[in-house]
Amino acid sequence: MEQPLPRVHADDVRAFVEELLRTGLTLTDMLAGLLEDLPEDAFPGEDSGEVLLEMLAGTLTPVVEAAGAQTARRATALLGAVRDRTIADLRLAAEQARPA
């Protein structure tokens, strides 16, 4: 028999959402600013966005390594599930808001 999942306290969910948004906005703003400020020839023959993603991956490698591969995979899955659930709920809300 499958065990029910433990409940998560609302404060933990709120803290997760706040950190998710804070981190996402920080990284998005930072990368967008860097892309905007880079000269077109900053990385000749390479896509500047890809170069910046690789640089960010290099910066974050020690953090991910410290967490371990399994935790990194679980965190990646959690973030994907957050995105999927958010989009699904927004679509459902839009459908319900449409006049019959």
Instruction: Indicate the domain borders of the chain.
Output: 9-67, 68-100
pLDDT score recorded for residue 42:
94
CA nearest 49: which of 37, 31, 27, 24?
Answer: 31
pLDDT score recorded for residue 6:
81
Residue 95 has pLDDT above 80, yes or no: yes
For residue 15, what are its two tokens?
């803290």
For the four alpha carbons of 59, 61, 72 and 80, in that order, the dihedral sign comes to: positive
Question: Span 84-98, mean pLDDT?
Answer: 96
Give the type of residue at 37.
Answer: D
pLDDT in tens, 28-85: 999 999 999 999 899 999 999 999 999 999 999 999 999 999 999 999 999 999 999 9
Residue 4 has pLDDT above 90, yes or no: no
pTM: 0.82
pLDDT score recorded for residue 100:
74
DSSP H helices in the chain: 10-37, 48-67, 69-97
DSSP notation for 48-64:
HHHHHHHHHHHHHHHHH
